[in-house]
Amino acid sequence: MHRFCKQCTIKTFKHMIYSSHGKISAPIKCFKDDCNYSMSHNTFQEFLEVNQQTEALECYKAFVDQRAIVNDPLVVWCIRPGCGRMLKAHDRHSRKLDCRNCFTSMCFACHRVWHGDQECEDAPIKVSEELKPM
């Protein structure tokens, strides 16, 4: 293995995160063209953490979380403005999801405020007091 300047490596990693919106291919290849070394995503995150690159690390983790939503049909965002938490249904037949962050209950099928036993099509569309921004 060979050495690279720590500041240049940090700068390159930050550029990889911000320019790719976190869609960094795995494993991460060495910067040297003729080198076959590659780094796992865990090692990549550890490097950022050890080098106190908190903002870049948090950004990267947020991008990873956002990709999880796109790739997992059972994961949705909480509907309460300002909450920003992901909720995961048990299976595709789930109906009610409860956010542990803001305590909002929502319907997994129609992504609106929980409407009990009422069918989604019959539930009124309204802005509820429950959905005031956090």
pTM assigned to the model: 0.51
Tally of CB atoms within 10 A around 98: 12
| Same domain flag for 23 and 55 | yes
- CA 5, CA 13: separation in Å to the nearest integer? 12
Cβ within 8 Å of residue 109, ≥6 positions away: 95, 120
CA 24/CA 12 separation, integer angstroms: 12
Structural domain containing residue 19: 6-70
Residue 56, H or E segment: helix 54-71
Residue 64 CA to chain centroid, in angstroms? 5
DSSP tag of 26: S
Residue-wise pLDDT tens digits, 26-35 = 677 887 788 8
Claim to verify: residue 13 and residue 51 sit in the same structural domain: yes
Number of domains in the chain: 2
| 133 and 78 inside one domain | yes
In a domain, 18, yes or no: yes
Q: Do 60 and 109 have their domain in common? A: no
Q: Output the pLDDT for position 108.
A: 94
Which tens digits make up the pLDDT trace of 41-73?
788 788 888 888 888 888 888 887 777 777 889
